[in-house]
Structures are given as structure tokens and as C-alpha cells.
Amino acid sequence: MSISYNGLWKLLIDKNMKKVDLINDLGISSSTIAKMTKGEKVSMNILEKICDELDCDFGDIIHYEKNKDGGNNEL
């Protein structure tokens, strides 16, 4: 399983924003942004804050990709 935040990065580009803007505007940590850059999980609270700030929905910023072999990884 893999998480992709490509929608978020594209949305930031569309809104002429940078990752550091999310850090400053939302008060989230740089380590949270680093986790997202690596495709790691972050809390729903963080995703909620981002959606509120960017006026979007979860599906606009995050995408779940299944394993190619169809198996599940442990959480």
C-alpha cells in the first residue's frame, strides 16, 4: 500500500504556494511535511487543516495506491 500526496503538491502549485506556506499558515511542523513528501501517513487532523486552508476535499490532496501484487501491507 502506498499513499500519494501528489494532489496536494499540484494544488499548491496551482495556488502559487510552497510547502513552507503550509508550515507557516497552519502551524504544522516541517517533519509532518517531510513525512508527506515521503508518502508516509499523517493524522486526519492535519489533512483537515490543509483542506480547510486550501478549500478542498481529502480526495483532492491524497490518493491511496494498492500494492501491485494485490496484497496488503501491515499498518
Domains of the chain are 2-65 (1.10.260.40)
Residue 70 pLDDT more than 60? no
- Distance, CA of 27 to CA of 66 (rounded, Å): 31
H-helix or E-strand spanning residue 4: strand 2-4
- Tell me the three-class secondary structure of 60-74, residue by residue: HHCEEECCCCCCCCC
Q: What is the mean pLDDT of residues 6-25?
A: 96
Residue 66 has pLDDT above 90, yes or no: no
**Per-residue pLDDT averaged across 48-64, rounded?**
95
Spatial separation of the C-alpha atoms in residues 42 and 36, rounded to whole Å: 7
Its pTM stands at 0.83
**Confidence tier at 59 by pLDDT (50, 70, 90):** very high
What does the alpha-carbon distance between residue 7 and residue 10 come to, in Å, rounded to a whole number? 5
Q: What is the mean pLDDT of the chain?
A: 90
